[in-house]
Homo-oligomer: A and B are copies of this chain.
Amino acid sequence: MTDITQTFLSAIETELQRQVARLDQPHTAEFHSMLTYHMGWTGEGAGPRTTGKRIRPLLVLLTAAASSKTGAWQDALPAAAAVELVHNFSLVHDDIQDNSDTRRGRATVWVKWGMPQAINAGDGLFILANLAMSDLENGYPAGTVVRAARILQNTCLDLTRGQYLDISYETRADLDIESYWPMIAGKTAALLSACTEIGALLGGADEGALAAYRDFGRHLGLAFQVQDDYLGIWGDSALTGKSTASDLVAGKKSLPVLYGLAQNGDFAKRWHAGPVAAGQVSALAEQLALEGGRDFTRRAADQLTGKALDALREAAPQGEAGGALFALADRLLGRQA
């Protein structure tokens, strides 16, 4: 990891704690502690593994620095905190909606404090994100603050549209491959696109570079998700034979699964027959590969990765931050597990 990335990550953590501390008030200490727990700072095992990778705020700061004439980034910190708070708001609600009891190796908020408090904790994180955005006023003209806030809110609306589709897909039998894209466009790509667009706006990029950065973020998100879907079936941890990490066991309607269902062959027949046990994962993954699902997914990921890197080159990020932005993209898109 580059030096500038380390510097940014440390500044992000400090800013996040400052934003969340708005809730550290009389009467609501326990409410505050739900959020510090979810953010990974307190509770059992708290440390780098429980905070997550902070990819989104890093994208904001790197884009701001790489598109700024002076390389300045400090004033963009509240926006970096805001996107991470939005991400975490969606995770807290997602865990309730999916009935997930662990995240990053620990009990989820709803498991520890109950569903009603967890809904409220998620709401609180989102509101803290919005308040962080208004702190941009200290470093930017009000018109820029309003524009940045509008980008983030439109993105959040996309997030809820993606979430609506994701939930409704669980019970739908008529899905085709095309159903996949609007869902991940909302769930994964929208927020990454907002990170790079807001970063470019705060860095003072011209409208052309801003559009290129936005495209970079969007394709980075799409490529990352398709790659994630690939690894969810053919990655090392999904294929260890008795692994339950496979998306096939979870019944997730990922891109390769939707491809396989569209072929209407042996894979589809087995999928419709009922839940897949861990012991059947390896053979079923092989069957899906035989029907073309692995190549199809690989090609889609490669195409999207190409588009992401093309857009980034077009944006022409500058300086040390520019180099770190390419390195981050490589790290996200080249991962093998």
Contact = CB atoms under 8 A, between A and B. Distances in A.
B164 A150 contact: no
A248 to B, nearest CB: 22
Contact of A141 (B31, B119, B142, B168): B142
Interface residues of A, number: 47
A270 to B, nearest CB: 27
Nearest to A143: B142
20 contacts: A22-B157, A23-B157, A28-B164, A30-B168, A31-B160, A97-B116, A97-B119, A97-B120, A98-B116, A120-B160, A120-B164, A124-B157, A126-B126, A130-B149, A130-B153, A131-B153, A137-B146, A142-B142, A142-B143, A142-B146
A93 interface: yes
The 5 lowest CB-CB distance pairs between A and B, nearest first, are: A142-B142, A97-B116, A31-B164, A142-B143, A124-B160
A36 interface: no
Interface of A: 22-23, 25-28, 30-31, 93, 96-98, 114-117, 119-120, 122-124, 126-128, 130-131, 134, 137, 141-143, 145-146, 149-150, 153-154, 156-157, 160-161, 163-165, 167-168, 182
A contacts with B: majority SS:
helix
A190 to B, nearest CB: 12
Nearest to A165: B27
Contacts of A165: 27-28
Contacts of A154: 131
A119 B145 contact: no
Most B Cβ at <10 Å: residue of A143, A145, A164: A164
